[in-house]
Amino acid sequence: MKYIEVALNLPLKMSFRYRVPTELAARVKIGSRVLVPFRNKNLKGFVTRERGKGERKLKDVIKLVDDFPAISRPLLRLGEWVSQYYHCSLGQSLHSMLPIQRSLKDKEKKVEGKKISCSGNLAQTSGGSVFLLMAEEPEEKISIFLSLAKDVLARGRQVVLVVPEVSYISSWNKLIQSEYGNCVAILHSRLKDRERYVSWMRMRREEAYFAIGTRCVLFAPFPDLGLIVLEEEENTSYKQREVPRYHAREVAARRGKIEGFPVVLMSQSPSLESWSRAHKKEYLPISTRATRKARPQVEIIDLRQEEDKVLSRSLEEAVKEALKGNELAILFLDRRGFSRYLLCQDCGEVLRCPNCNIGLTFHLKGALSCHYCGHEERSPLVCPYCTGNRLRGKGVGTQQVEKEAKIRFPGALIRRADLDIGPSLAGSALKDEVIKGKIDILIGTKLIIREEILKEAKVVGIILADSLLNLPDFRAGERLFQLLVKIKRSIKKEGKMLIQTYNPTHYSLRCVRDREEDFYPQEMRAREELHYPPHFHWARVLLEGKTEARVTEASQRISQKLGEKGVEFLGPSPCPFAKIKGRYRYQLIVRDENPSRITACLKGEVGYSSSSANAV
């Protein structure tokens, strides 16, 4: 008699055993999906282990779901790693790897992939290594990507390209198809189940040998994967917000290690994590031509000196200049920081947490709080730095910028694009309008910061850099730097970027203007003292519940346990969004230089849930 262990998509720490009926025994294998009875339901799960013996009272497997094991052995190992590192059950991690509900049917029709002959080098010699590709020009990035892929395909292996968002897929797809024809499978969460099934099967049968997709394509079922490439590796979309809360970069690197192929991270301004690993030689650089083409000018405007806090004199002049030449001007504003911090309009300082140095969150009723460590204070009446009395908790919105622009630039074609006016404009319609010259001044939020729009722009004005710089997030400076570098690299070479700020000497801004490579060592030093990543690993323990008392009680209990174990942690404190859908949310941040110590100490104390711990 055959017995198996099955991983179910449940937030439970144990595994479940079943008996395999004799007629299924030959076909049930490790990695197979089976339907099993659980309490009074039938659930699908993955076979993770086979056993020769078991207790007699075990229930029978009801049926085998697919014609073949849905998860290969290497992917099962990857799933085990995800469940340990990101603190979820093996069932939760395996279910996220196979985004298909229907049964997988075997059609034994395997098309022989077209083999391109070429002498390879990178991929042959560097299985399991991670490379960082920092090409300055998009053309160079593309040509390096294509030549790496060519090497891999020549040896009959397959290539996966991971992109941060669905909108990146079509241009890459066109590019690859123009080189290699119809060999691309596309995978992302917005596909219908049927489409996903077709894509998935094409990969498994090697009818496709290229896959492009968002995070979920990391688990592409190619039989002999030879390369994973991540586009724009610093993009925040690579962090999954649901369980398992994995980061695409880490999963890609781990899969490369397990299956022995190289992983390439592409970036114009890498994350501090990747930069520091490259610095320590854990990631290897891919050399690029060191040519430096002319770059747009960057000007930093000190708003403390300006009468008008929305459109400074320099920005107004630059926009007028662009209008005269019939060129596109973009006015960018990020509203996430909108009225959530307190800024002194005289000296430009922001009220920050004395422990964590992140912006304190400003609440109505005049309270300030830190959502990392829980520090609270009353908001002062005068600025503690300069004793000025112009402390403001409010920024400007896109509507206000639009109103101002209409007054200053009468006759210009002005278009506002933000989430308020619907997502349709965010698509290709907006790009078409821009290309056809139907817009003189485009005002918007992050929606408009896309390469195909930026490359049409002559002037870009950042209305208030501080709204990003002061987000209550230790990565705020890094994010701002990366955004500004992206804008600077994408707009017209003879163009100009103007940054309005109350903090004109901040290195995140100065490095964009002067020397980009100086940013990383400075940011590393700033993070070191406060034990921020990448020096320390962070894991967030999120506690949710219907009554606040129970959530705080649970968080006290956990913090006491963590204290007894002698691990370093921050909080408990209310989350930035302290109540969502009627549930109270608190968090604790556990940090350590060694991630396995965090894993070990959470293992005993924190249960799995549909939303539990979260490596930052």
- Number of residues forming the site for Zn ion (CB under 5 A): 14
Q: Classify 444 as helix, strand or coil.
A: strand
Stretch in the footprint of Zn ion (CB under 5 A) among 20-28, 103-111, 155-163, 373-381 = 373-381
Return d(Cα 202, Cα 318) in angstroms, integer. Answer: 52
Stretch in the footprint of Zn ion (CB under 5 A) among 45-53, 86-94, 372-380, 579-587 = 372-380
Of residues 329-348, those binding Zn ion (CB under 5 A): 344, 346-347
Of residues 417-456, those binding Zn ion (CB under 5 A): none
Q: Which of 203, 323, 370, 512 binds Zn ion (CB under 5 A)?
A: 370
Residue nearer to Zn ion on the CB measure, 204 or 371: 371
372 near Zn ion (CB under 5 A): yes
Q: Which of 320, 363, 375, 565 binds Zn ion (CB under 5 A)?
A: 375
Stretch in the footprint of Zn ion (CB under 5 A) among 15-23, 30-38, 289-297, 388-396 = 388-396
Residue nearer to Zn ion on the CB measure, 173 or 552: 552
Return d(Cα 589, Cα 594) in angstroms, integer. Answer: 14
Residues in Cβ contact with 186 at an 8 Å cutoff, skipping those fewer than 6 apart: 169, 173, 199, 211, 212, 213
- Provide the minimum distance between the beta carbon of 342 and Zn ion in the complex, in angstroms, as a whole number: 10
- Provide the minimum distance between the beta carbon of 571 and Zn ion in the complex, in angstroms, as a whole number: 9
Residue nearer to Zn ion on the CB measure, 461 or 571: 571
Residue nearer to Zn ion on the CB measure, 186 or 344: 344
Residue 214: which of 259, 174, 178, 252 has the closest Cα?
252
- Provide the minimum distance between the beta carbon of 385 and Zn ion in the complex, in angstroms, as a whole number: 5
SS (H, E, C) 533-591: CCCCEEEEEEEEECCHHHHHHHHHHHHHHHHHHCCEEEEEEEEEEEEECCEEEEEEEEE
Residue nearer to Zn ion on the CB measure, 373 or 465: 373
Residue 6: which of 57, 43, 41, 40 has the closest Cα?
43
H or E stretch including 431?
helix 428-435
- Provide the minimum distance between the beta carbon of 375 and Zn ion in the complex, in angstroms, as a whole number: 4
Residue nearer to Zn ion on the CB measure, 35 or 542: 542
- Provide the minimum distance between the beta carbon of 390 and Zn ion in the complex, in angstroms, as a whole number: 8
Return d(Cα 440, Cα 199) in angstroms, integer. Answer: 41
Residue nearer to Zn ion on the CB measure, 367 or 386: 386
- Provide the minimum distance between the beta carbon of 382 and Zn ion in the complex, in angstroms, as a whole number: 8
Residue nearer to Zn ion on the CB measure, 355 or 596: 355
- What pairing do the DSSP bridges indicate for beta strands 63-64 and 158-162? unpaired
Residue nearer to Zn ion on the CB measure, 34 or 356: 356
- Provide the minimum distance between the beta carbon of 304 and Zn ion in the complex, in angstroms, as a whole number: 9
SS (H, E, C) 357-382: CCECEECHHHEEECCCCCCEEECCCC
355 near Zn ion (CB under 5 A): yes
386 near Zn ion (CB under 5 A): yes
Contact 5, 20 (CB under 8 A): no
Query: For residue 52, which amino acid is it?
Result: G
Displacement of CA 433 from its chain's centroid (Å): 29
Return d(Cα 567, Cα 270) in angstroms, integer. Answer: 30
Residue nearer to Zn ion on the CB measure, 54 or 380: 380
Stretch in the footprint of Zn ion (CB under 5 A) among 6-14, 361-369, 384-392, 447-455 = 384-392
DSSP structure string for 390-421: -EE-----HHHHHHHHHHHSTT--EEEESGGG
- Provide the minimum distance between the beta carbon of 387 and Zn ion in the complex, in angstroms, as a whole number: 7
Residue nearer to Zn ion on the CB measure, 356 or 434: 356
Query: Residue holding tokens 């600025």?
Result: 383
Q: Which of 94, 184, 356, 368 binds Zn ion (CB under 5 A)?
A: 356
- Provide the minimum distance between the beta carbon of 475 and Zn ion in the complex, in angstroms, as a whole number: 15
Query: For residue 574, which amino acid is it?
Result: P
Stretch in the footprint of Zn ion (CB under 5 A) among 267-275, 353-361, 452-460, 576-584 = 353-361
- Provide the minimum distance between the beta carbon of 347 and Zn ion in the complex, in angstroms, as a whole number: 3
Stretch in the footprint of Zn ion (CB under 5 A) among 16-24, 49-57, 127-135, 380-388 = 380-388
H or E stretch including 302?
strand 297-302
Q: Is 566 left (phi over 0), alpha (psi -120 to 50) or beta?
A: left
Query: For residue 69, which amino acid is it?
Result: P
388 near Zn ion (CB under 5 A): yes
- Provide the minimum distance between the beta carbon of 476 and Zn ion in the complex, in angstroms, as a whole number: 14
Stretch in the footprint of Zn ion (CB under 5 A) among 282-290, 375-383, 394-402, 449-457 = 375-383
Residue nearer to Zn ion on the CB measure, 346 or 605: 346
- Provide the minimum distance between the beta carbon of 378 and Zn ion in the complex, in angstroms, as a whole number: 16
Angle at the Cα of 448 from the Cα atoms of 398 and 578, rounded to 5 degrees = 65
Stretch in the footprint of Zn ion (CB under 5 A) among 118-126, 153-161, 355-363, 467-475 = 355-363
- Provide the minimum distance between the beta carbon of 344 and Zn ion in the complex, in angstroms, as a whole number: 3
Joined tokens for residue 549:
């008392």
Residue nearer to Zn ion on the CB measure, 353 or 487: 353
Return d(Cα 597, Cα 595) in angstroms, integer. Answer: 5
Contact 325, 525 (CB under 8 A): no
383 near Zn ion (CB under 5 A): yes
Residues in Cβ contact with 570 at an 8 Å cutoff, skipping those fewer than 6 apart: 355, 356, 372, 373, 374, 588, 589, 591
Stretch in the footprint of Zn ion (CB under 5 A) among 39-47, 387-395, 420-428, 542-550 = 387-395
Return d(Cα 511, Cα 505) in angstroms, integer. Answer: 10
Residue nearer to Zn ion on the CB measure, 488 or 585: 585
Of residues 25-54, those binding Zn ion (CB under 5 A): none
Burial class (CB in 10 A: 0-12, 13-18, 19+), 559: middle
- Provide the minimum distance between the beta carbon of 510 and Zn ion in the complex, in angstroms, as a whole number: 21
Return d(Cα 242, Cα 281) in angstroms, integer. Answer: 32
Residue nearer to Zn ion on the CB measure, 142 or 530: 530
- Provide the minimum distance between the beta carbon of 505 and Zn ion in the complex, in angstroms, as a whole number: 15
385 near Zn ion (CB under 5 A): yes
Return d(Cα 535, Cα 378) in angstroms, integer. Answer: 32
Contact 339, 454 (CB under 8 A): no
353 near Zn ion (CB under 5 A): yes
Binding site for Zn ion (CB under 5 A): 344, 346-347, 353, 355-356, 370, 372-373, 375, 383, 385-386, 388
